Amino acid sequence: MTAYDDDALRAEMVATCRRMNALGINQGTSGNLSVRNPRGFLVTPTSLPYERMEPKDLVQMFFDGSYEGERRPSSEWRFHRDILASRQDVDCVLHCHSVYATTLAVHHRQIPAFHYMIAVAGGTTIRCAPYATFGTQALSDAAIVALEDRLACLLGQHGQISLGRTSAAALALAVEVETLSRLYVQALALGEPPVLSDEEMGRVMQQMKKMSYGQAPDPEGAADVPRRRD
Ligand code: 13P
């Protein structure tokens, strides 16, 4: 196991936040990011645009809700803390107000299995949590329920949350959720699209697992395609 490098993690988080803006899934002071570390977790500071944010501005938080340093943590530190505390399968929480995901969220619409890629979020739907005021325990509680057995959810009249082992994985999933949301909004223009059956979505999930789909390729070849070694 490699030693924990606080500077490297802070630099990676700043890069991820700036990438979030460059990709067009976030803007202004919306959005926040947290990553677990040996002392608790690092989280973006509140109300600081990412273009002006430096590695030292990231806030060290602890699971009891306390923090250290000059900067105040994101107003959404509760859901970052609660997700990281209750989900040992993830180490990173990314939140943004991407336009198409939020378009569905303002209508309290979950995303059904209208497209097989819904499975990348871990199930047959991407749920939408009911509305609760930003920065509250009620919002955190609602997010935890919507994220059960999932890696992403929408937040009613608010935005989206995506989870991952790394900030790169959480960012990639947030982009995927935004793309699926855009496709769904466009598909709805022709009427409610048909959905794939639970049985088919089960096969899709099996297939993704078998192929390590959407993850860095396993050099030993987890895929079902034989690899030549000569
Ligand atoms: P912070 O600047 O406090 O992280 O808030 C942004 C946000 O998106 C609130 O939901």
Task: Specify the pTM.
Answer: 0.94
Average pLDDT over residues 36-65: 97
- Which pLDDT band, with edges at 50, 70 and 90, does 222 fall under? low
Which residues have C-beta within 8 Å of that of residue 207, sequence separation ≥ 6? 213
The larger pLDDT score, comparing residue 27 to residue 182, is at 182
- Does residue 40 sit in helix, strand or coil? strand
Q: What is the pLDDT of residue 224?
A: 63
Among 3-12, 127-136, 161-170, 219-228, name the one with the lowest average pLDDT: 219-228
Q: In DSSP terms, which residues pair with 40 in a beta bridge?
A: 37
Q: Which of 27, 58, 76 to mutate to test the pocket of ligand 1 (most atoms within 8 A of CB)?
A: 76
Measured from the Cβ of residue 187, the count of other Cβ atoms closer than 10 Å reads 14
DSSP letter for 125, please.
-
Could you give the angle at the alpha carbon of 205 between the alpha carbons of 161 and 149, nearest 5°?
40
Q: How many helices (H) and strands (E) does the chain have?
A: 6, 8
What are the tens digits of pLDDT across the range 145-181? 999 999 999 999 999 999 999 999 999 999 999 999 9
Q: What is the distance in A from the centroid of ligand 1 to the CA of 95? A: 8
Q: What is the pLDDT of residue 215?
A: 59
Q: Is 34 in the pocket of ligand 1 (CB under 6 A)?
A: no
Average pLDDT, the chain: 94
Q: Examine the pLDDT at 126 and tell me if it is beyond 70.
A: yes
Instruction: Name the phi and psi angles at 66, rounded to 5.
Output: -90, 165
Looking from the CA of residue 158, the nearest atom of ligand 1 is 10
Tokens 């060290």 correspond to what residue? 60
Looking from the CA of residue 44, the nearest atom of ligand 1 is 4
Closest by CA position to 83, among listed 123, 141, 1: 141
Catalytic annotation, pick one of 76, 148, 199, 220:
76
| Active-site annotation holds for 76 | yes
Q: Is 157 in the pocket of ligand 1 (CB under 6 A)?
A: no
